[in-house]
Amino acid sequence: MIRVNPHYPKLQASYLFADIAARVRAFEQRHPDRPLIRLGIGDVTQPLPEVCIRALHAAVDEMAHSETFRGYGPEQGYAFLREAIARHDFGARGAAIDADEIFVSDGAKCDVGNIQELFAEDVQVAITDPVYPVYVDTNVMAGRSGDWSRDHYAGLTYLPCTPDNGYVPALPTALVDVIYLCSPNNPTGAVMTRAQLQQWVDYAREHRALILFDAAYEAFIRDPELPRSIYEIDGAREVAIEFRSYSKTAGFTGLRCAYAVVPKDCMAWQDDGTPVSLHALWTRRHTTKFNGVSYPVQRAAEAIYSTEGQQQIRALSDGYLHNAQLIRSGFRALGYACTGGDHSPYVWVHTGGDAWAFFDRLLEQAGVVCTPGVGFGRCGQGHVRISAFNSVGNVVTAMQRIAAALKG
Give yes or no: residues 339 and 400 share one domain.
Answer: yes
pLDDT reported for residue 14:
61
Please tell me the distance from the alpha carbon of residue 13 to that of residue 378, in angstroms, as a whole number.
17
| Other C-beta atoms lying within 10 Å of the C-beta of residue 310 | 14
What average pLDDT does the segment 125-129 reach?
97
Phi then psi for 163, rounded to 5 degrees? -55, -30
pLDDT reported for residue 17:
78
Give yes or no: residues 77 and 210 share one domain.
Answer: yes
| Other C-beta atoms lying within 10 Å of the C-beta of residue 222 | 12
Please tell me the distance from the alpha carbon of residue 175 to that of residue 16, in angstroms, as a whole number.
30
pLDDT reported for residue 156:
97
pLDDT tens profile 392-407: 999 999 999 999 999 8
Q: What is the mean pLDDT of the chain?
A: 96
Is 128 within the bounds of a domain? yes
Q: Kindly tell me if the per-residue pLDDT of 13 is higher than 70.
A: no
Is 162 within the bounds of a domain? yes
Whether residue 253 contacts residue 44, with contact meaning beta carbons closer than 8 Å, is answered with: yes
Is 325 within the bounds of a domain? yes
Give yes or no: residues 83 and 219 share one domain.
Answer: yes
Count of structural domains within the chain = 2
Q: Identify the domain boundary among 287, 306, 325.
A: 306
What average pLDDT does the segment 271-275 reach?
94
Please say whether the dihedral angle defined by the alpha carbons of residues 209, 259, 236 and 215, taken in this order, is positive or negative: negative
Is 2 within the bounds of a domain? no
Give yes or no: residues 193 and 286 share one domain.
Answer: yes
Give yes or no: residues 112 and 228 share one domain.
Answer: yes
User: Cα-atom radius of gyration of the chain, to the nearest Å?
Assistant: 21
Q: Kindly tell me if the per-residue pLDDT of 56 is higher than 70.
A: yes
Please tell me the distance from the alpha carbon of residue 89 to that of residue 41, in angstroms, as a whole number.
26
- For residue 42, what pLDDT band results from cuts at 50, 70 and 90? confident
Domain residues for the domain of 17 are 8-47+308-407
Give yes or no: residues 152 and 232 share one domain.
Answer: yes
Q: Identify the domain boundary among 283, 306, 329.
A: 306
CATH code: domain of residue 160: 3.40.640.10
pLDDT reported for residue 19:
86
Q: Identify the domain boundary among 250, 283, 306.
A: 306
Whether residue 364 contacts residue 300, with contact meaning beta carbons closer than 8 Å, is answered with: no
What average pLDDT does the segment 190-210 reach?
98
What average pLDDT does the segment 373-378 reach?
94
Q: Kindly tell me if the per-residue pLDDT of 247 is higher than 80.
A: yes
Give yes or no: residues 73 and 135 share one domain.
Answer: yes
Whether residue 216 contacts residue 108, with contact meaning beta carbons closer than 8 Å, is answered with: yes
Give yes or no: residues 72 and 206 share one domain.
Answer: yes
Is 153 within the bounds of a domain? yes
Name which of 151, 119, 111, 155 is nearest 135 in CA terms.
Answer: 111
Give yes or no: residues 283 and 355 share one domain.
Answer: no
pLDDT tens profile 334-365: 999 999 999 999 999 999 999 999 999 999 99
- For residue 169, what pLDDT band results from cuts at 50, 70 and 90? very high
Is 3 within the bounds of a domain? no
Q: Kindly tell me if the per-residue pLDDT of 170 is higher than 70.
A: yes
Whether residue 108 contacts residue 86, with contact meaning beta carbons closer than 8 Å, is answered with: no
Give yes or no: residues 26 and 95 share one domain.
Answer: no
Give yes or no: residues 239 and 368 share one domain.
Answer: no
Whether residue 393 contacts residue 402, with contact meaning beta carbons closer than 8 Å, is answered with: no
Phi then psi for 286, rounded to 5 degrees? -60, -45
Name which of 169, 282, 183 is nearest 232 in CA terms.
Answer: 183
